[in-house]
Structure 1
């Protein structure tokens, strides 16, 4: 199971509708798994790129993961999603990356 107090960042191109919906989906997944996150933040890619290293995990669309190479080098887990609204895909990717059992 994931550690409580992990911080999650979700990013979309503009940081408005899609990332807010992604944040809500992320919160549903965390609630389902009984994980208490210290922070779940949504923003635009431009903000996310500079803030990513302050978070444990970053979720974004699959085609944007290359924007977060610096954060990955600092230990942030970056997860790309094909369907950014899919709770099932989020949960599966968290398992694949060892965030949850």
Structure 2
């Protein structure tokens, strides 16, 4: 699953916990069957690439942290290839251990 948004989430239905549960449910309850890549603003972290750090609740980052196989990348990076490569590596790892049900 790939989610790209240039801001932190403001107004989506539900919470990061709801989104994580929905992804896992869609995969028959198997969290290991999901790899999540989120590319979004990083203004919630010190050393932000996107500008001054502000104190916000960043649901997209929280969602990423809730998923056991995930990658978060800054939308303000010069390129996203490293993020996609990290996600592809996680997909490969999960495919090697995946047991279809």
TM-score relative to the length of structure 1: 0.38
Quick check: which one's strand share is greater? 1
TM-score relative to the length of structure 2: 0.38
Structure showing greater radius of gyration is 2
Quick check: which one's helix share is greater? 1
